[in-house]
Each structure stands twice: as C-alpha cells, then as structure tokens.
Chain A
C-alpha cells in the first residue's frame, strides 16, 4: 500500500472515531472539486482555505459547524489523487498555501468515470453526514452544455446528462426521489437554460455563472457558508418566502457574489413557466417571419456577433447569449421597424417577449452582474444564458448537440427549433 494512502486511511479512521454522534443538521454542503487541470490547483487551495481560515469573530466560521457540514472531494493530479475531507476551521492565516482539514478518506479513482465518481461521493456524503437539506456543488472548468469538471486525462468531462443522472440516482436511492435543495456549478458558462433544463427533476434551485469567471473569481464561499452554518446572521432574501430555506440559501449564495456574474434559478418555475414561454416566443417569431420573409435578415443580424449599436447579441462564450439581452435586442429590432406593433406578427413577438420576461422574473430568484457585465451596454441581462447559433453553419455543426436539451425537445411544445430552422433556411 502506498505510504501516503496508508497515512490517509489512518487519519480517516481517527476522524471517524472522533466524529460525535449527531442529530441531523440543517445542511450538508457537498463540494465536488476537480482540480486536475494544472491551472486549477491554486484556485482550489484558495477556495478551501477561504472556508477553513478563521476571522476576528470567534463564533464565525465558513467551515463545518453544529448546524452544517461542509464536505469536499478534492481531485488533483498529485497523490493522493482523490481526498475526501470534512472542512473544519483551522486556526492558521488565510494566506496559508493549501487546505489543512484532515482527510477522511483517500481514494484512487483511476478509471472511474466522472459520473460514477460524483454519484459515489454524494452517496457517501449523505450517508456519512445526514442533514435536512443538501447542497451539491461541482467545481472545475466549465464548457456550458458540453460539460463540467473539465480536467486533464481520459476522464476529462462530466457531461450535463451525466451530471443529471448521477444526482438523480442518489436522489432516488437516498432521498426517496426528493430533489436536492440546491445545486451549484462553480465553473464558467454553466448557468444556461440547457443545463438547468437537464436538472429540473434533481434540484430545487440551481446556482451558477452564465459567464466566464474572470480570474477564477468563483463562488463566494467565505461570505456564504457562515449564513448556511448558523455562525452568522441569515437575513431573509427578498425574493424568497421565509420558510423556504433552499430559496434563501440560493439567493444568499448569489447575493454575496462580488465582481462576478451569478444567478439562482427556481427549477420548478423554469419547467412550468419559463420553458413553455420560450416555446411560445419561438412560435411568435415564426409567425412574424411568415409575414415578411426578408425579416430573416434582421434575425440573422440579431443572432450574429455583437456589433454594438449596429446589432448582434453578445456571446458569453461557446455561443451562449444572455436571455435577457437577447430579448432586449429582439424587441428593439421589432420596434425599430416602420409601423412597429402594427402587424399581428410584430405584436405577437412583442407580447411573447413580455411573457418570457415575466417568466424570467419568476424563475430567476437572484442575480448579480460583475466585471464587464456590470457595464451599461449589458443592461437587461437576466443571468441565465441559452445557446443561439451565430449563423447557419454553426447551427448545422452544433445544433444536434443541443437537440438533447430538454427545452428543445418540447415539454409542452417548448422548442426553439422552429424559429432557428426558419431563420437559417435558404432564401425562398
């Protein structure tokens, strides 16, 4: 047995032996951290240290407390490759270089697919640290609907359907089919309609960034966890009913983000209100285009690269656009037309845009915008993205990959296909 692994098991055994018998806590936070990419080692250490380090207030903690457990599976390339830890407050400065909480288990998951690895970790975490509510966070590189936890090596990407399957499996076996209270992606480009659509049945709230986390800013663990673990006051979030602890936790996570773009999505509202409204918007755009085939030119410009005042919609990365910005530019384009609102097609689009905005208001319970997204030319951002091809070629190349996303499949007719097919069809 490798020495490091043996040592870890000893530590694990002692941690287990010392763990008190506990009544169920309010929260268990399960952080699945894939830092196998070489540029993620330092950010992983920084985030974990931000949870362990004390503050000047003795009762304050961003780690495990009597109210909550903060449990991490950390995967790095250096052995031990996979460590499971229950984060505790460690009385050393925030500037210390790496995580110091004791290892509960050390594993070698060589050859284990990411989906299975996540499923095992979350199952283990629930068994070992039961609580009333569970928050699962997956940390790593993000590729939007392409996947998350993008490390290096053969098991590089956890695709979004795989993420959904892993959580669904644990929900079924350990939670009686109840969805997780909160799921968060601490990775770029993950807060999209496509990703959230895949998680409708497995998470009550979904938190993440639709953008690129500039300089690895990430989630505000140090500000958020004290709210969750009872070591700091937890003011009720304006958008949430007082009794909805999950909503308050999700909104608090977003609200404490500084300099980042984050949002929290209410998944039932997404499924029942937002996705159907998008389907109706697509149908309205089709009707608008049927009135005048040359309007497809304007739609092609709208979907094209951002040209500022000239048109287009900003790309957040990998072809994703903020839904609120898209709506703003679509309605601006329609209202700029001569006789705007005068035809059934024009008024239909404007009505459908308003309906989606209303649905967004119900689905997005919190959002903050940082960096360049705080600028005036990004006014109207919703905090949730969707993939929109820039041109027919991109649609042809990548459309199939997004066909699997729920909202394109058409629960209640919620599909964007008709509108995109029409826009990018050859001229009549």
Chain B
C-alpha cells in the first residue's frame, strides 16, 4: 500500500465519513488492477435488495464448533437465558495468540506476511449446475441458469450410457460425482443422484434454485486443510473394466464436497447478522452489535497471529460485501495512520493518539472500557477467490486467483499497549472468521466402515464400495477416497 493511497482514503473519509464507510471496498489483482465484476455468486436482484445478507446468514447459521464434547452452531449464539457467550475473541479462531501488542508485532517484523503455500482456488460448485453433477467439461452441457434445463440434459444422457461407449474423451467429460460413482462401483450413481436431488428439493420447496447456492463453505477450508492435487490421476473401476481419469478440478470438487458435507467442527468468531439495513449513527457506524463485530481489534490480532505467526490460512466472511464470501486469507500487510490528524504515520509511535488528546474521535461513545490510546491501521489483505473448473492436467499456485482488498480501522490500546478493541472505518468489513483446528480432518461417518487399503492401479476395496454407497446417499464422499486421490495426484 502506498502512502498516497492511504491518505486519499483518509481524506475522503474525513470529509464524508458515512458515505465513505459504506462504499464497497475495491478488489484488485496482485498487480494492482481493479477487478470489475465476476467476484460474486449473488444475483443482481439480491444485491440490489440486500437479500444476499439473508442468503449468507442462512448458510452461516449452520457453521458449528465443538464445545466441551457438544456442538455449538452460530445459530445458538442468540442473546438469551443460556450460558453461551458471543464469540469475538481472537483466541477462539487462531492456532496461537502470541502477540497482542502492536509494538511487539512490529518488532517481530509482522507488519507483512504471506503464506508460502497458498490455499488452492476452486469452484463453488453451484446447486443450479448440479453441484458435483456438473459436467463442466462437456461442451454440450447447457450450463443454464435454470437448474431443470441442466438436469434434463443429464437425464437424457445418463452416465451409464457414456461409460458403455468406453470412449476416453467422453469419460473425461463426466461430472466429478459420476466419476466417483464409477470409481466405487456404484452403478446406481448414488452420489450423482444426491447432487441433483439437492436442486430438486430446493426447486420443490421454493420454485427456483438460486445461483448463489453452492459449497464455497466446503471449498474454503478444504483449500488449505487438504493438499493441492497437482496432476491428473488414472484410475480403474472396481471390476477393472473401465479406466478413466480424475483431473485436478475433479479432485478439488470432491475435496470441497467432503468438507461441506461432513462439516467437521471449526473454530469461529462472529455471530449471525440478518439485518439488511442496520441502523447507523451520523458517522455511518453500525449500531447493531451482531452486525458490527468482528471487532477490528479481534480482526487485527487474528490476522497477524494466524497468518504471520502460525503461518496457516483461515477463512473470512463479510456480511455486507457481496464479493467476499468464505475466502481463505493467505497474506496481509499493514500500515499506520494517525486518527487525530488523519494522515499516514510511518511508525506506531507517530500513529498513537493518547485518549486525552483524541479530540476528533468520532466513535467516543462506542469505545471500549480502559483504553489509553488509539492508533489507525490500513491493512491490505490477500485472499484466494474461486475459479472455474477445467481439464488442465496439472495444477500449481500460478493457476490460483488471488485478490487484494484494503480495510481501514483503528485499534484501542490499554496502558500496556495491548489491543482491547477498535473501530472500523469501513462498514463492509470481515465479520465472521473461521478455521478448522490444525490437523482436523473432514471424515464421513462411513469412513470407519471402509477398511483395508486401496493400492495404486487397482479398484477400491469391497468394504470401501459398500461404505461409499451409504455415504453417497446423503451426499458425502469417503474421506479415504478423496485423500487417496490427492496423494496420487501429488498433493
């Protein structure tokens, strides 16, 4: 980030804070080019009406954490007569919370960090295209916005007929779920049927399958919890009769589905926010607690400690930014500004404004108890975005789609220089962060029943086949199959 960019924003904010706060933060390529369009799954009508806030909230409500052996979903975090407290503490999401003073962070050269191995990009596998029933490489596949049109195409050209031809190109073009069914010897195509059944269920209940519905909540953790499939893998059906290939995109699809469907507990901070247009004060500051958090102090602690110290990705969601939905973060850099003068500050010392001297504080009545000084921060975040699936035979970080976005906020520090809170200078900020714990696995309940090993060049064992069909019925692939495919693909 350049000093001039930061000062331009601060100057605009100083002039019309409410309007500037409410702007959609621009997204840029790593080369600095602004990205226009193509970054959202939400329909224009939903964006215009704010309906995307509710759509996002419904998905977020099902995210769950493990809590003393039980399960706490985001939906459970209502204020009520139950001893469950809102999650807004960085330690609830990071692997390690080593530094809580900006001065220490600076001393440890943590003002910028990037992960060596970035999470891999993948598709969000939308329901209207059949989730993993999407024959993305079949050039005749309609790819229509209408679920039924896509479904009708697949029904008219069943996978069994394509397999019967034995044509390599036709087999290559099967959908990821169809290849999985073939791999586990499931002639009924149970996983594929479960994929299309999702859209059928939604169509029956709501009359339409919205284009935003998909499994990005599975892709985002899978993208760094599982290795990158680097090359295509040749496999055979259990009876050895059919040989075919999984491309890296096929394997990523199965990995994303595994993490979406088996949904292991994650660590998260933030709550639900289903207010399309929350009340704001004269500075544009959101007055709803649920829609204000994550507190910027928590955000800063989480980013620096997780990316900079633990060197592991985590996932961010931003309710009011329809371009940001469950994106894995892989890097950041931050700079300071002086919130009293609203100017760039080269050092923390020059950014710090003691409480008594902060006469231009717009957020006095929202401040934390016990803060002694405030420092402004401009952070540029690097995250991974979705891509379209392809039949590329290899995959590497160069094929990932990286996006940059800037967030402005201030940090409240106590007398010892520890972060105790802060205020956002942008409303469309990250407000829900999550990550599986280090070493966590997504495993279907059927995996325990899949015994024995699957050797290279052979069909999957019989016990895997039986277990796979049961898991497929509820839309889950076996973790053992997915992980083995990734290993075979060099991940």
- Residues of A near any B CB (own CB < 8 A): 39-40, 43, 140-143, 150, 186-189, 212-218, 294-298, 300-301, 304-311, 315, 317-319, 336, 371-372, 376, 390-391, 393-394, 397-398, 426-427
How far is B70's CA from A143's CA once the two chains are assembled, in angstroms?
A: 13
Contact partners of A40 in chain B: CB under 8 A = 81
22 cross-chain CB contacts under 8 A = A43-B81, A141-B83, A142-B81, A143-B83, A150-B83, A217-B80, A218-B81, A294-B446, A297-B470, A301-B474, A301-B476, A305-B64, A309-B198, A309-B202, A310-B474, A310-B475, A319-B70, A372-B61, A394-B70, A398-B70, A426-B448, A427-B449
Judge whether A215 and B79 touch: CB under 8 Å: yes
Contact partners of A43 in chain B: CB under 8 A = 81
Contact partners of B242 in chain A: CB under 8 A = none
Known pairs A297-B470, A307-B261; A390 contacts B70 (CB<8 A): yes
Kindly provide the distance from the CB of B263 to the nearest chain A CB, expressed in whole angstroms. 6
Kindly provide the distance from the CB of A19 to the nearest chain B CB, expressed in whole angstroms. 32
Judge whether B62 and A306 touch: CB under 8 Å: yes
Judge whether B81 and A311 touch: CB under 8 Å: no
How far is B80's CA from A247's CA once the two chains are assembled, in angstroms?
A: 28
| Interface bracket on B | 35 or more
Judge whether A214 and B449 touch: CB under 8 Å: no
Judge whether A317 and B449 touch: CB under 8 Å: no
Contact partners of B369 in chain A: CB under 8 A = none
Contact partners of B387 in chain A: CB under 8 A = none
A-B CB proximity, top 5 nearest: A300-B445, A188-B82, A397-B69, A297-B470, A214-B78
How far is B81's CA from A231's CA once the two chains are assembled, in angstroms?
A: 30
Kindly provide the distance from the CB of A358 to the nearest chain B CB, expressed in whole angstroms. 28
Judge whether B81 and A390 touch: CB under 8 Å: no
How far is B198's CA from A297's CA once the two chains are assembled, in angstroms?
A: 20
Judge whether A319 and B71 touch: CB under 8 Å: yes
Known pairs A304-B445, A306-B62, A307-B261; A315 contacts B82 (CB<8 A): no
**At the interface, yes or no: B1 with Cβ under 8 Å from chain A?**
no
Known pairs A213-B80, A218-B81, A297-B449; A305 contacts B62 (CB<8 A): yes
Contact partners of B476 in chain A: CB under 8 A = 301, 310
A-B contact count (CB 8 A): 120
Contact partners of A298 in chain B: CB under 8 A = 470, 473-474
**At the interface, yes or no: B55 with Cβ under 8 Å from chain A?**
no
Kindly provide the distance from the CB of A194 to the nearest chain B CB, expressed in whole angstroms. 14
Kindly provide the distance from the CB of B86 to the nearest chain A CB, expressed in whole angstroms. 11
How far is B445's CA from A384's CA once the two chains are assembled, in angstroms?
A: 27
**At the interface, yes or no: B107 with Cβ under 8 Å from chain A?**
no
Judge whether A215 and B80 touch: CB under 8 Å: yes
Judge whether A212 and B69 touch: CB under 8 Å: no
How far is B181's CA from A82's CA once the two chains are assembled, in angstroms?
A: 66
Mark each residue of chain B from 357 to 388: 1 if its CB lies under 8 Å from any CB of chain A, else 0.
00000000000000000000000000000000
Contact partners of A397 in chain B: CB under 8 A = 69
Contact partners of B475 in chain A: CB under 8 A = 309-311
Judge whether A297 and B467 touch: CB under 8 Å: yes
How far is B466's CA from A319's CA once the two chains are assembled, in angstroms?
A: 30
Beta-carbon nearest neighbor of A310 in chain B: B475
Contact partners of A140 in chain B: CB under 8 A = 81
Known pairs A304-B445, A398-B70, A427-B449; A141 contacts B474 (CB<8 A): no
How far is B84's CA from A188's CA once the two chains are assembled, in angstroms?
A: 11
Contact partners of B79 in chain A: CB under 8 A = 39, 214-216
Mark each residue of chain B from 73 to 96: 1 if its CB lies under 8 Å from any CB of chain A, else 0.
101101111111000000000000
How far is B261's CA from A40's CA once the two chains are assembled, in angstroms?
A: 38
Contact partners of B202 in chain A: CB under 8 A = 309
Mark each residue of chain B from 470 to 490: 1 if its CB lies under 8 Å from any CB of chain A, else 0.
110111100000000000000
Contact partners of B471 in chain A: CB under 8 A = 297, 301
Contact partners of A187 in chain B: CB under 8 A = 81-82
Contact partners of A295 in chain B: CB under 8 A = 470
**At the interface, yes or no: B205 with Cβ under 8 Å from chain A?**
yes
Which residues of chain B from 428 to 449 have any CB-CB distance to chain A below 8 Å in the complex?
A: 444-446, 448-449
Judge whether A372 and B75 touch: CB under 8 Å: yes
Beta-carbon nearest neighbor of A40 in chain B: B81
Judge whether B84 and A315 touch: CB under 8 Å: no
Contact partners of B261 in chain A: CB under 8 A = 307, 310
